Amino acid sequence: MARFKTLADRIEMRPVGDDLVALSLMQEVLASMGDEPDDPAARRLSVAAYPDDKDAQSEYERLMNPELDRQRRMDRDAVASVLKAAESGTVHLSATEAEALLMVLNEARLALGARLGIVDDGWGSDEGRASDPVALLLRYLTGYQDELIRVLAERLET
C-alpha cells in the first residue's frame, strides 16, 4: 500500500507498518542532537560555508545560523503536528508540511549516518550492520524518504 498519494493541492500520507514508530524514533534522534559533546550528528548538520576562511565563516554564521536554527525548529514542530494527527490515520499534507517532512527526514538520516560513521556509498549493502538498530532505523527512514521524494518529484512534472 502506497504511503503517499498526490491530491490536487495536498499529499495524502497513510501510515503503514512501523512508520509511526520509526518516525517517532526519528524525532528522538533529532531531539538528542547536541546532548553529547562533539556529537558527529550535530557536526554533520552544521556545515561550514567557508571551511578555509575563519573570518568569513564567523560572519556567515552570524548572519545565517539564527535563521537556520529557527527554520529547522519550525520544520520539526510542523512534523510533530503531522505525526500527532497521523496517530488517527491518514492525513493530508500541505506543500509546506510535505517540505518540512522531507527536510526533517533528511536531517535525521544524516544524523544517523554520522553516528554510524558512514563514509562511503556502500553502506546500504553493509551486512555487518544488518542487526544494528541505528542502521535499521536509517534503512527504514531511507525507504520512507524515497517514497516521499518520488511523489514530490512527480508533482514537479505536472
**Of 66, 76, 69, 65, which is closest to residue 28 (Cα–Cα)?**
76
Asked if 145 contacts 106 with a C-beta cutoff of 8 angstroms, the reply is: yes
What is the rounded CA–CA span in Å between residue 73 and residue 79?
A: 10
C-alpha cell at 154: 512527480
Applying the rule CB under 8 A, the residues between 59 and 118 that interact with other proteins are: 59-60, 63-64, 66-68, 70-72, 95-96, 98-99, 102-103, 106-107, 109-110, 112-113, 118
Helix or strand (DSSP H, E) at 6: strand 4-6
Smallest distance, other proteins to C-beta of residue 87, A: 25
Indicate whether 48 belongs to the interface with other proteins (CB under 8 A): yes
**Residue numbers of the site for other proteins (CB under 8 A)?**
9, 45, 47-51, 55-56, 59-60, 63-64, 66-68, 70-72, 95-96, 98-99, 102-103, 106-107, 109-110, 112-113, 118-121, 123, 138, 142, 145-146, 149-150, 152-153, 155-158
